[in-house]
Amino acid sequence: MAIVDGVAYWASVTTPNTTYEPVYSINVVVDNEVANDFRSRGFTVKDKEEGPTIVVKRKVHGPNGMIRTAPKLIDNMKNEMDCQIGNGSTVRVQYKEWEMTRQGTLYKGLDLQAVQVKSLVSFSKGGLDEFDIIEDEEEVDEL
């Protein structure tokens, strides 16, 4: 297995993203040297606004009804974590390269094994935390 360092975006590590097919995934923004290495080995590198990005993922459903377990999520001290990773967190991602040929076409991918959070940016769903408590009726009238 290998490890790549970068900045996390759209991470679904402890809970799968179920928008389409359930999948654990993380987009990792890497530097140009790392991006070029992945490209040279035949992996997809997306050119995003944040920078060159690789997607490391693990499908929940495998062959013959197999259910894959969630990747491990740990902190700097290797303690297990159970939280959502906010965009902009710095991480180390452990992955396993795979490839297969189907009907003459070669497919390659990166299987998400574990994520170590170096610096966590809190995840926010844009809830009510941004509002202040208004106690004075005069403040309400001024709006």
Domain boundaries, the chain: 2-126
Helical H runs in the chain? 32-40, 137-142
pLDDT, average across residues 68-90:
95
pTM: 0.82
Q: What pLDDT, in 10s, does the model give residues 24-59?
A: 999 999 999 999 999 999 999 999 999 999 999 999
State residue 138's pLDDT score: 57
- CATH code of domain 2-126: 2.40.50.140
Query: Has residue 142 got a pLDDT over 60?
Result: no
| Residue 96 neighbours by CB under 8 Å, 6+ apart | 1, 2, 110, 111, 113
Query: For residues 87 and 50, what is the distance between their CA atoms, to the nearest angstrom?
Result: 11
Query: Has residue 140 got a pLDDT over 60?
Result: no
